[in-house]
Amino acid sequence: MNQLNSLHAIALDLNRSLLANDRYHRLLAAINKVAPSDASCLLRLEDDELVPLAARGLVPEALGIRYRQSDHPRLAIIAASKEPVRFPADSHLSDPFDGLVAGGALEVNHIHACLGCPLRVDGTLIGILTLDALDPDAFMTLSDLFLKTLGALAGAVLRTAALIENLSDQARREGMVANELMRSSFRTGRREMLGTSSAMEGLRSEIELVASTDYPVLITGETGSGKELVATALHRASARSGAALIRVNCAALPESLAESELFGHKRGAFSGADRDRPGKFVVADGGTLFLDEIGELPLPLQAKLLRVLQDGEIQKVGEDHSSKVDIRLITATNRDLEKEVKAGRFREDLYHRLAVYPLPVPALRERKSDIPLLIGHFCERIRRRHGLKEIRFDPQLRDRMQAATWPGNVRELENTVSRLVLRSTTSLTPGSRVHVRDSSSLSLEKSESTAQSAAIRPQISDQGFRAAVREFERNLILNAVESHQGNWSAAARTLKLDRSNLHNLSKRLGLRGH
């Protein structure tokens, strides 16, 4: 009767909404009621290794071991069998859990009862169940039929838990992909590369050529030149266009969490890791991973990224084995990585792995004939956004803008057009017409250094020395951060400060969150 009750309890758990870990522990608890043991373990087969999922009576570290069949003959015999296996009490074969039983109850070569059930689904081995007891006769009352039934139910529990776990992982991954795509949509919308200049036509030809391959591409170019749009164009023209394009800004990754963000982590890997989490490599599996500002990646992570490119495998934080990923990697930077390599700030071997196909993006000053087209595009976008009747641009102002150097490239041009439209009317009322005229206040030819020095020059006439110094520091930091489009790491380099020191200073000056 106890045997039937135990089998009934296991069968009921198959239909309950339980976490995988709960299913495994309830299974061992039910088995222990009818077959009391000093140690029991449920293991899942992964390649040639058996991975513990749950255990009773074993020390905690036993769950962290992957048991290779070739190293453990008893496990190999159980795995090869189609029936439950009972080992003689005086068997000379070493027990895989010798020395791992809590309290040291079972020692090496100690005479005891040991049995194992292969867990098969549709004839395929998916795991094994082992039981060990000090009493050599502990399992004598268990019939082979009961053990076979027990193995069949345990295999069903294992398969059900795996199916639910896979569905949960897939749902979580798809949810992360959806969130990433939504954020990307809000950030870039349907923005595309614009321009008919020879420089842009050459860039399009390069994109078309390399998009059909899976080569890693390193996109280089100045800040604001449109590197993200190039990455998007590469993905859309590739065979992976039906999958997701996942973007990661390496400069925005906190160094302490960067490895987890990229490669994922196991539950309990560190404080606060209350569940398994897939990293961006897993989220992008089957699609494209775009690592923007790759030059900001810390050296320790560069080494881990190199291993991924070499082996096509990632290892989650807290996990003791690797898993395969299938991604197309695109990276981008506004830094000269060859100089960074010489300075020891970037690994030379990683640089050559990333730059299989370097793709430089031309600066706006190298394609000035595209400026009128871009101005028209930005004006049309503003017109639609605010419901304006029309926006007309003064030809003289357009000519001045076409002659300017634009150190901030397309992003600076877009910001300037937005400001000019706003300053040309009292309000952006739907249905109104806006005429953007030439403005003598628009100093397009002013150099960036001159503009910055004028912006940060402190005024001491109405304040004391300390207040003036504080204001000077505030303006200096704000201008550095703004000139790098909010990139604090780049701002820290410009100011020749350590990033953590810059953040501490900014907090003291009340600038955190800017």
**pLDDT at 382 > cutoff 50:** yes
pLDDT at residue number 512: 57
pLDDT at residue number 447: 39
pLDDT at residue number 207: 95
pLDDT at residue number 446: 44
Q: 192 versus 17: which is more confidently predicted?
A: 192
pLDDT at residue number 50: 92
pLDDT at residue number 427: 75
pLDDT at residue number 60: 86
pLDDT at residue number 449: 41
**pLDDT at 227 > cutoff 60:** yes
- The reported pTM is 0.60
Over the stretch 320-330, which tens digit does the pLDDT of each residue have? 777 888 999 99
Confidence of residue 123 (pLDDT cuts 50, 70, 90): confident
For 175, the token pair is: 């949810």
Q: How would you label 76-90 residue by residue, b for 16+ Cβ within 10 Å and e otherwise?
A: bebbeeeebbbbeee
Q: Poorest-confidence range of 71-80, 259-268, 353-362?
A: 259-268
- Over residues 436-441, mean pLDDT: 68
H or E segment to which residue 173 belongs: helix 144-188
Q: Poorest-confidence range of 174-188, 205-219, 418-432, 486-500?
A: 174-188
Over the stretch 447-468, which tens digit does the pLDDT of each residue have? 344 444 444 455 544 556 666 6
Over the stretch 132-150, which tens digit does the pLDDT of each residue have? 888 888 888 888 887 888 8
Between CA 491 and CA 15 the distance in angstroms is 57
pLDDT at residue number 74: 94
**pLDDT at 225 > cutoff 70:** yes
Query: CA-CA distances (angstroms) from residue 169 to 91, 120, 164, 174, 275?
Result: 42, 23, 9, 8, 11
Over the stretch 21-63, which tens digit does the pLDDT of each residue have? 777 888 888 888 778 888 999 999 988 899 898 899 998 888 8
Between CA 223 and CA 238 the distance in angstroms is 25
- Percentage of residues in the chain having pLDDT higher than 70: 80
333 alpha-carbon distance from chain centroid:
18
Would you kindly state where each structural domain of the chain is located, as residue ranges?
2-165, 190-362, 371-436, 448-508
What is the overall mean pLDDT for the chain? 81
**pLDDT at 102 > cutoff 70:** yes
pLDDT at residue number 377: 92
Which residue bears the tokens 């299938």? Answer: 326
**pLDDT at 184 > cutoff 60:** no
pLDDT at residue number 186: 44
Residues linked to residue 87 through DSSP beta bridges, in sequence order: 114
**pLDDT at 218 > cutoff 70:** yes
**pLDDT at 9 > cutoff 80:** no
The CATH architecture assigned to 371-436 reads Orthogonal Bundle (1.10)
| Fold matches, 2-165 and 371-436 | no
**pLDDT at 86 > cutoff 80:** yes
- Percentage of residues in the chain having pLDDT higher than 90: 31
Over the stretch 257-268, which tens digit does the pLDDT of each residue have? 888 888 887 776
pLDDT at residue number 450: 40
The CATH number, out of the four listed (3.30.450.40, 3.40.30.10, 3.30.470.20, 3.60.20.10), of the domain defined by the range 2-165: 3.30.450.40
β-pairing, 124-133 with 39-46? antiparallel
pLDDT at residue number 204: 93
- Dihedral pair phi/psi, residue 500, rounded to 5°: -65, -35
pLDDT at residue number 452: 45
Q: 438 versus 504: which is more confidently predicted?
A: 504
For 192-261, the DSSP string reads: -----SHHHHHHHHHHHHHHTS---EEEE--TTS-HHHHHHHHHHTSTTTTS-EEEEEGGGS-TTTHHHH
Query: CA-CA distances (angstroms) from residue 284 to 245, 307, 331, 496?
Result: 7, 17, 14, 35
Q: 446 versus 390: which is more confidently predicted?
A: 390
- Over residues 209-236, mean pLDDT: 94
The CATH code that applies to domain 190-362 is: 3.40.50.300
Between CA 409 and CA 222 the distance in angstroms is 8
Over the stretch 282-323, which tens digit does the pLDDT of each residue have? 888 889 999 999 999 988 889 889 988 888 888 888 777 778
